Amino acid sequence: MNIGPTPQLALVALAFATILIPSVSAQPPIDNSATAGEWQALPVKAESPAANPTTAEKVELGKKLFFDPRLSLTGTVSCNSCHNLMEGGDDGRPSSMGVHGSIGPRNAPTVWNSVFQASQFWDGRSPSLEDQAKGPIVAAPEMGMPAHENAIKRIAAIPGYQTEFRDVFDSENSVTIDNVVKAIAAFERTLVTPNSAFDRFVQGDRSALTDKQIRGMQLFSDIGCTECHSGPAFNGWDVGSTTQTFEEFPRNAESQLVGQYGLDRDLGRFAATNRKSDKHYFKVPTLRNISLTSPYFHNGAVAKLSDAVRVMSETQLDTELSNEEVESIVDFFSALDGEFPSIALPRIPSRPGESVLEDQEPAAVGE
């Protein structure tokens, strides 16, 4: 496979980083016709929608709720349980384990940079972070609440939350599911990881990537990965866009790898829309921090990133890569690891001298 002149690629990438590009002088003129807009740095900050403006107090409340396991039936599963901010924003499991040890049907997507997409969940059935956050609370294999009312009853019984909701939403009785998810979404909008080596590279720091990573970057483009994995989050989404790209996966269902990993058992977006044309269609997932979010794909069946690259090139692009080529792309992916913001552990409010989890059975007999 022709790797091409890497310095030229670097300059093209540099010139067309559409966001945050610093002024860089003393660069030679470049041909930008081929890859205009192809490489984009991640925004360092996400916009908030008019219906849910971000405030510092709302973010702080949302952080408490994000980490509060009492939103789950058993008091053991918080948003952070499956979207662990201490690592890749997922849980490292093929699919998540919720209340009572129940196991969900799909791999937990990362919450990092989830603001940089126009729809949520693997099948894109949710149009916003607010809407998405309502789902897991009442999903039987996740937080397992019978209804949102049960979660609201728990939260509303905690004096500290009552006060904080009133202050943030400027009204009495503001502990509602809509406000709970507004606060969580406001917090999630702060979960961005800019300034990866890749971002520094496209902003002009030629030394930010190794030669091998640059080869991987060009190969990633040359074989067509960027046709779907485009935009600042490598997920087919452009800044400001309200639509999301869905693609068929696997495209080549005859590939031996499809059977090996059971990749064709999930009908994807069809389950959400019931449209035949959506069968096996999935939202294009972000590749940001991909080296931290093993295992891979909707079913989490592929543990190694190198195998995931092989699956994609063979099933989606009919391209068989050499080991060295796979390695260069994996190496490029490590350059997509961003800077994680420092987060102070929240203090989640208590109900002094009283239980929040009143419906939980006491232990009957000691060990």
Q: Which of 47, 57, 87, 142 is catalytic?
A: 142
Q: Does 135 bind a copy of itself (CB under 8 A)?
A: no
Classify residue 346 by burial, with Cβ atoms within 10 Å: 0-12, 13-18, 19+: middle
Tokens (6 digits) for 331: 């190496």
d(CA 367, CA 364): 10
Residue 229 assigned as binding residue: yes
Calculate the dihedral angle through the C-alpha atoms of 176, 78, 116, 325, rounding to the nearest 10 degrees: -170
Residue 217 assigned as binding residue: no
Residue 79 assigned as binding residue: yes
Q: Which is nearer to a copy of itself, 175 or 305 (CB)?
A: 305
Residue type, 56: A
| Segment interacting with a copy of itself (CB under 8 A) among 21-29, 210-218, 303-311, 317-325 | 303-311
Active site includes 327?
A: no
Which residue is it, tokens 């149009």?
127
Site for a copy of itself in 271-290 (CB under 8 A): 271
Residue 83 assigned as binding residue: yes
Q: Select from 333, 335, 336, 338 the one that contacts a copy of itself (CB under 8 A).
A: 333
Residue type, 87: E
| Segment interacting with a copy of itself (CB under 8 A) among 21-29, 32-40, 212-220, 326-334 | 326-334
Which residue is it, tokens 């002024």?
23
| Segment interacting with a copy of itself (CB under 8 A) among 33-41, 104-112, 203-211, 250-258 | 104-112
Tokens (6 digits) for 294: 């093993």
Question: Is there a contact between 216 and 331 (Cβ–Cβ < 8 Å)?
Answer: yes
Site for a copy of itself in 23-82 (CB under 8 A): 64, 67-70, 74-76, 81
CB of 339 to a copy of itself, least distance (A): 11
Question: Is there a contact between 84 and 111 (Cβ–Cβ < 8 Å)?
Answer: no
Q: Which is nearer to a copy of itself, 11 or 82 (CB)?
A: 82
Q: Select from 330, 332, 335, 336 the one that contacts a copy of itself (CB under 8 A).
A: 330
Cross-strand bridge partners of residue 268: 281
Angle at Cα 302 formed by Cα 288 and Cα 3, nearest 5°? 55
Q: Does 156 bind a copy of itself (CB under 8 A)?
A: no
Which residues belong to the active site?
142
User: Binding site: residue ranges?
Assistant: 79, 82-83, 225, 228-229, 312
